[in-house]
Structure formats: structure tokens, C-alpha cells
Amino acid sequence: MFHALITGANRGLGLEHARQLLERGWHVTAAVRDPDAASELKALPQGEGKLDVVAYDATDFESPKRLAAEIDGPIDLLFANAGMMSPETRNFGAAAGDAMALEFRVNAIAPLALVEAFADKVAASEMKVVALQSSRMGSIADNGSGGGYGYRGSKAALNAIGKSLSLDLADRGIVVLILHPGWVRTDMGGPNGQLTVQESVEGQLDLIARAYGNPAMSGRFFHVSGQDLPW
Ligand SMILES: NC(=O)c1ccc[n+]([C@@H]2O[C@H](COP(=O)([O-])OP(=O)(O)OC[C@H]3O[C@@H](n4cnc5c(N)ncnc54)[C@H](OP(=O)(O)O)[C@@H]3O)[C@@H](O)[C@H]2O)c1
């Protein structure tokens, strides 16, 4: 049985990943900020080899180390999905500041801390896939509208980190995917998004299945449709 650890799994894309992976018979460890408040997640089948809900705060870089010490066995899919978009860092004029530092902490540095803590468990697994939930907004080549300083900057930093991880972890057989889920109807994506969470997650899980044993996909930035995105 495959085992996935996914962050930010209490709502939005992360919750749907947990749901679909459980349906496919995976063991899912769902890492969330407030397990007590994760009622939709906890309604999914819990128990031995099914769903485990654990506490994780992306702003605390010790959090992944504590989790790695607590969790038994290999992790086939490590999915750094938790992310944020701060309205305070959108527009030129007052974007630079603590809100932007927080965005970089959560969107870029926390995924690296997660991979650093779990690389041994991923390397010991059968599937050996790391997925980073990036965004097309982090593409410098694709930026035709400006603004979005904190979100764009932090996702571009995540992309750079993902590329380095793909090179540094290649000799351990780990495939690192940098993913854009599409524009999805979640709290973050809003009601006008083009995809449902079901559609986006099905597409992302197809890409992840293709990445199993496929080092040629490592360090690439993929649209959920499977197309490569420009950096
Ligand atoms: N929706 C889109 O169109 C879209 C497009 C491109 C990329 N993405 C990316 O996809 C990922 C998921 O987004 P979503 O649309 O599902 O957004 P969402 O519904 O707003 O969910 C965000 C998730 O991240 C968690 N999170 C935020 N800050 C955290 C922290 N400090 N520690 C732990 N967890 C934290 C949230 O937990 P709480 O519930 O505790 O706040 C929540 O589970 C994000 O990385 C986002 O940037 C989304």
C-alpha cells in the first residue's frame, strides 16, 4: 500500500487529494494546522492504513522534523500543498513587509523544510515522488499583468527550490514535480475558477502516477493538463 503525506489537507485541493487517494486505497497522512477543526477531513475513513490526521504549521520549521520522527515507515508521495495568498502584498506601493515575509515562509521555505525532514522516508519508499504545489503565477515568463509581489515571488522561489531539489535528490531516485493545479474553485481560487477540485486533483494524480519511476519528469513545472510551463 502506498503512503502519502499531504499538507494543508483540511480544505480545498489538499482535502480533495486526501479524499481521492483514500478512494484509491492509499494510506494518507493529512497534515493540518488545526486537527480539531478539520471536520470535513475527519469525516473521511480514518484508522490503521487509512487516514491519519496530524498537526503541522508551515510557519514552524521544526514542525516537519517532529512529524518525521513520529511517522513510521516510508512515504511514497510527499505533497507540499499548503499555501497562502496575502491581499496585502498584491499591489505596488506597500507590498514589501512582514506579510510578504510570511508568504515566502509558508509558500517557499516551508516546502523545503518539509522535504529536508522527509527525504530519507521518501527515498526509502517504492514510489519516491515529491510534489510541490506551485502556481502559474510563479512563472516569470508568463507574467503579463504585474502585481502579486508576495504570491508570485514566493511561488517563483518555490520553483527555483524545486529545481535544485530535483538535482540534489536525483541520485536517491526521488522525482520532484513542480505543479500548477489550474485555476481552481477553492477559497483561494474563488468562485470563478475554471476547474473543480475534483477535476484538478484527478489531473494532478495522473501526473503523479506518470512520475513513478520516471526521472525525466523531475524538476519540471507542469500545468495540470500535463503541459510544461515556462519558468
Ligand atoms: N486554487 C487555485 O486556483 C490555485 C492555483 C494555483 C496554485 N494553488 C495552490 O494550491 C495550494 C492549495 O490551495 P487551495 O486553492 O486549496 O487553497 P485554500 O483552499 O485556501 O487552502 C489552503 C490550505 O493551505 C493551508 N495553510 C495555509 N497556511 C498554512 C500554514 N501556515 N500552515 C499549514 N497550513 C497552511 C490552509 O490551512 P488552514 O485551513 O488552516 O488555513 C489550507 O488547508 C496552495 O499552495 C495554492 O497556492 C491554488
Ligand 1, CB cutoff 6 Å, lining residues: 7-8, 10-14, 33-34, 56-59, 81-84, 106, 133, 135, 180-181, 183-184, 186-189, 193
What single-letter DSSP state applies at residue 93? Answer: T
pLDDT in tens, 84-120: 999 999 999 999 999 999 999 999 999 999 999 999 9
Pairwise CA distance, residues 74 & 1, whole Å: 11
Residue 108: all three cell numbers together = 517557499
pLDDT in tens, 114-139: 999 999 999 999 999 999 999 999 99
Angle (deg, nearest 10), helices 149-168 and 110-123: 20
What is the residue with the minimal CA distance to atom 24 of ligand 1? 82
**How far is residue 83 CA from its own chain's centroid?**
8
Residue 171 CA to ligand 1 center (angstroms) comes to: 31
What is the fold, at CATH topology level, of the domain defined by 3-223? Rossmann fold (3.40.50)
pLDDT in tens, 8-51: 999 999 999 999 999 999 999 999 999 999 999 999 999 888 99
